[in-house]
Amino acid sequence: MKKLSLTAKIFISMVLGIIAGLLLQGNPDFAVTYIKPLGTIYLNLIKMVVVPVVFLSIMQGIISLQDIRKVGRMGVSTVLYFFVTTAIAITIGLVLANILNVGGGYVLQGGELSYEAAAAPSFIDTIVNIFPSNFFKPMVEANMLQVICISLFFGFGVILAGEKGKVASDWIDSFAEVSFKVMNMIISVSVIGVFALICPVIAQNGPEVLLPLLKVILIAYAAYIFHVLVAYSVSVKCFVGMNPFTFLKGVSQAALFAFSSASSVGTLPFSLAATEKLGARKDVASFVLPLGATINMDGTAIYQGVCAIFIAQIFGVELTLANQLTIILTATLASIGTAGVPGSGMIMLAMVLESVGLPVEGIALVAGIDRILDMGRTAVNIVGDCSCTICIDAMDKKLSAKKAAKAAK
């Protein structure tokens, strides 16, 4: 009998969690009190190992590249890829929401809406906050932008130290391997973690809660799927020459875990394994994926577009083409500005609504289904991270081949 893959086990676990959640709808407190803690423990373990994995893997990737200019070139290409795909993503969300009239037929119930949006950092504050004043504080707070910044500086330091940096390089390799082993131990209990994470969500957000907003969910997920099948498939076909189905099959395990956990950073171990199996070099994957887990927000951008049109329509506000272009620009730029901020999807949505004069209170309408939407947008973000990784890797291989051919002449 063929042994079930981890992907199959996670899928079965998710289905069982959904079934258990539906059965516990009459008693959601049980799911929250006795099942959710197992999921919380699992996520805590993931969060525990994420910082060392990101910190060490980025340094390992930089050191193995052995060329600061190459790291810079790769970084620029990665950020540019994320900017372009994010702009495409929110455009898809806006177009589908308009065509399918996402807010049509929705009637506001009595009572005032209220939602207090968390303060979004300014552009200058975002830039300043990337650079930490303390080595340990970003590690403790899991501030990923700052962790990446520290990794870059110390990775460059090891390269510039030359022979004297060899000991540090060996230590980094050693500790990175230990971190990966710890990570594998945690992944081995994913089946329990996924069940415990999904069950309370379903128990608390049953059909009677979701049905009035089902149209928003369906349109958002249609946009998620469309973006994955078009933007990412075209990218891997054009830049890598890979069959899109091969790519999607290769990243399915990572996407499934992202969907069930709603954590981009927590899915990093699965993304690393998936991209390496698809042929990306470890040094490239170790650099691009942690960066993507922090700043790539394609799925979130789609969510912004759909929710902005939904809120505009139910409040009777007509958005002009200029308004919608403003939404595209704001969401694309905010995708990096709010990276690493807890509840970044809601913060980005508040920024988008304010940019075109829509009432921020409208967020309260979608807050109840945010977890459902969050699962899908996180899966999209992860597939985007993986597509970027293999595309950047393929472009770098072609560039290296050209340089080698030129040198051989």
State pLDDT tens for residues 53-109: 778 877 877 777 666 777 777 878 888 888 889 889 989 999 999 998 887 766 554
CB-based contact 356:308 (threshold 8 Å): yes
* pLDDT at site 108: 52
- Length of the chain equals 409
Quote the pTM value: 0.71
Short-list 181, 197, 178, CA closest to 42: 197
How far is residue 16 CA from its own chain's centroid? 25
* pLDDT at site 342: 44
DSSP 205: S
Average pLDDT over residues 40-58: 78
List, in order, residues 6 or more apart from 32 with CB less than 8 Å away: 200, 203, 204
Share above pLDDT 90 across residues of the chain, in percent, rounded to a whole number: 14
* pLDDT at site 243: 93
Give the model's confidence band at 122: pLDDT under 50 very low, under 70 low, under 90 confident, else very high: low
Query: How many folded domains does the chain comprise?
Result: 1
The residue segments making up the domain with residue 306 are 6-408
CB-based contact 367:156 (threshold 8 Å): no
User: Rounded CA gap, 382 and 176, in Å?
Assistant: 22
- How many alpha carbons lie under 13 Å from residue 77 in its C-beta half-sphere? 21
Summary mean pLDDT of the chain:
80
List, in order, residues 6 or more apart from 211 with CB less than 8 Å away: none
Considering the domain boundaries, does residue 245 fall inside one? yes
**209-234 burial code (b ≥16 CB/10 A, e <16):** eeeebebbbebbbbbbebbbeebbbe
Determine the angle formed by the axes of helices 282-295 and 144-160, rounding to 10 degrees.
150
DSSP 102: T
User: Rounded CA gap, 129 and 124, in Å?
Assistant: 8
* pLDDT at site 145: 66
The residue written with tokens 């399918």 in the block is 100
Considering the domain boundaries, does residue 396 fall inside one? yes
Short-list 387, 366, 340, 287, CA closest to 85: 387
Query: Which tokens sit at 70?
Result: 């190459």
* pLDDT at site 304: 85
Considering the domain boundaries, does residue 326 fall inside one? yes
pLDDT tens-digit series, residues 359-380: 777 776 776 677 778 888 889 9
Query: Which tokens sit at 272?
Result: 């690393």
pLDDT of residue 205 exceeding 70, the answer is: no
Average pLDDT over residues 303-323: 84
How far is residue 362 CA from its own chain's centroid? 24
User: Rounded CA gap, 289 and 216, in Å?
Assistant: 30
List, in order, residues 6 or more apart from 275 with CB less than 8 Å away: 251, 285, 289, 386, 389, 390, 393
240: domain CATH number is: 1.10.3860.10
Considering the domain boundaries, does residue 19 fall inside one? yes
CA 89, 95, 100, 101 dihedral sign is positive
Considering the domain boundaries, does residue 1 fall inside one? no
pLDDT of residue 221 exceeding 90, the answer is: yes
Considering the domain boundaries, does residue 212 fall inside one? yes
* pLDDT at site 387: 94
The residue written with tokens 């709010």 in the block is 338
* pLDDT at site 390: 93
Considering the domain boundaries, does residue 162 fall inside one? yes
* pLDDT at site 388: 93
Considering the domain boundaries, does residue 359 fall inside one? yes
